[in-house]
Amino acid sequence: MFMGLQALAPVPRALAAAARYTVHHSGQTHWTEQVAIIVSTTPNRRYLSTHPWITFSFSADRVSPRTWVLLGEAASKCEHLAGSAMPPSFAEGLNRISLERGAYGTTSIEGNTLTEAEVRDIVEGAANTPPSRAYQRQEIENLVSLFNDIIQECLPDNAPPLSATRLKAQHARLMVGQPAKEDVVPGEFRTHDVLVGRYRGAPPEDCEYLVDRLCEWLNNELSQLGDDPALRTPMAFILATLAHLHLTWIHPFGDGNGRMSRLLEFELLIRAGVPVPAAHLLSDHYNKTRDMYYSILEQTSVRPGYPAEDFVHYAAQGLVDGLREQIAQVQEMQLSIMWQSYVHDRFHGQHTQARTRMRDLVLALPADRWTPIGDVTTLDRGLAEAYRNKTSKTVTRDVNGLVKMGLVEKQRGRGVRPRVEVMSAFLPPRRDPSAGQ
């Protein structure tokens, strides 16, 4: 089901959304869905005249075909990532790196000057941050704690509903140990007007009301996502980016609104079943394309029609780029495991000292570079011990034997490398899609 949200006339109370589709006798399925969130409004609310782009509605017709293609690819890659069996060490590393990049990205956008390497040390508990930058370290620790708690709370089926109270509690935790600022009360909505660059936040007297409406809208849409991942993930992604936009537009807190908007977006993705490493990708994308991020955010509230779909497309492209990188890492890991299995099969039943030494040598060779012949015995401790009393002739003989087996390539002046590319013979045949017609 598509998520097509359309603003309707105010009524006394919120009503549920409805959807339908028609299957014609030809076998084609035509979506005729109309999804609407009907929420009560108060005519004298000031935001209605100052912030007409805050509507808690979005029509799926505004999403371009290019964006739908990206969302379809994102859904497919999320399922691929979620269904990929990984060694524990690899899975742990993928989760840790995505967490580091997510925390680094969302704080760097707001001016935290810690480097990615320093953030990595903080996440790993090995940081040596000077006292003058302790508040920046605390900011990273606050975000990491919030990320982890959201994962623990929202992965089960009984996740607590989104609410203004929940967002306030998260904000209070976000601001722990941060420099005090005038008119900023951690865990409370602002009571004053705020101007960020050229953007003025929603009227302070409307903030509580608007966040309540936002949470009601999001909770309702989350409950209707359905179970089909091909539809659920694209719809969830659109909803998450719209949540990001709406909280940014409202700007309910005295400080920390950008981080809270990205945190809410992350939470929506987790609630919708997006794999944890993928859910961290957007903050990393926004940080790497910071100028574009701020430009598109601004355009959504100043251009005619308030094109939220431009932000959806921009975010979708970043998500897909990040997913492609993660899938490539998974495929590289799988190829490495297949290579090890292949090498062991080639030496199956051959238990002599020489053959064991040759097997260990080819497995120790790094796949991404050439290794000088004179360095192969130092690749790991086991090889050093195996060749401890051997001459260079033994090393040369072993390497030449591996060349004859087709397991390594040797070149004068460069050294030796494993022929991992032979594994491509075991992949399904296909024409190179980048080749000409």
- Predicted pLDDT of residue 226: 83
Q: Is the pLDDT of residue 350 over 80?
A: yes
Please give the Cα distance from 293 to 245 (Å, whole number). 11
Predicted confidence band of residue 229 (pLDDT cuts 50, 70, 90) = confident
Mean pLDDT of the chain: 89
Q: Is the pLDDT of residue 307 over 80?
A: yes
Write the CA distances from 423 to 68, 70, 337, 340, 342, integer angstroms.
34, 30, 11, 11, 8
pLDDT digits (tens, 9 = 90+) for 16-44: 333 333 333 334 434 334 444 334 445 68
pLDDT digits (tens, 9 = 90+) for 393-425: 999 999 999 999 999 999 999 999 999 999 888
Number of neighbours of residue 354 by Cβ within 10 angstroms: 14
Return the structure tokens found at 29.
Answer: 């399925």
Given the structure tokens 């991404």, which residue do they identify? 368
Domains belonging to the chain, first-starting first, are: 64-330 (1.10.3290.10), 347-426 (1.10.10.10)
Number of neighbours of residue 283 by Cβ within 10 angstroms: 28
Please give the Cα distance from 395 to 376 (Å, whole number). 8
Backbone angles phi, psi at 417, to 5 degrees: -145, 155
pLDDT digits (tens, 9 = 90+) for 99-126: 999 999 999 999 999 999 999 999 999 9
| Window from 1-5, 16-20, 375-379 with minimum mean pLDDT | 16-20
Question: Computed over its alpha carbons, how large is the radius of gyration of the chain?
Answer: 27
Predicted confidence band of residue 156 (pLDDT cuts 50, 70, 90) = confident
Average pLDDT over residues 66-86: 95
Q: Can you give the three-state secondary structure of the chain, one letter per residue? A: CCCCECCCCCCCCCECCCCCEEECCCCCEEECCCECCECCCCCCCCHHHHCCCCCCCCCHHHCCHHHHHHHHHHHHHHHHHHCCCCCHHHHHHHHHHHHHHHHHHHHHCCCCCCCHHHHHHHHCCCCCCCHHHHHHHHHHHHHHHHHHHHHHHHCCCCCCCCCHHHHHHHHHHHCCCCCCCCCCCCCCECCCCCEECCEECCCHHHHHHHHHHHHHHHHHHHCCCCCCHHHHHHHHHHHHHHHHHHHHHHCCECCCHHHHHHHHHHHHHHHCCCCHHHHCHHHHHHHHCHHHHHHHHHHCCCCCCCCHHHHHHHHHHHHHHHHHHHHHHHHHHHHHHHHHHHHHHHCCCCCCHHHHHHHHHHHHCCCCCCECHHHHHHCCHHHHHHCCCCCHHHHHHHHHHHHHCCCEEEECCCEEEECHHHHHHHCCCCCCCCCCC
Q: Is the pLDDT of residue 218 over 80?
A: yes
- Predicted pLDDT of residue 304: 96
Write the CA distances from 53 to 89, 159, 343, 390, integer angstroms.
46, 30, 61, 76
Please give the Cα distance from 229 to 392 (Å, whole number). 57
Return the structure tokens found at 92.
Answer: 């742990």
Which residues on adjacent β-strands are paired with residue 411? 415
- Predicted pLDDT of residue 431: 75
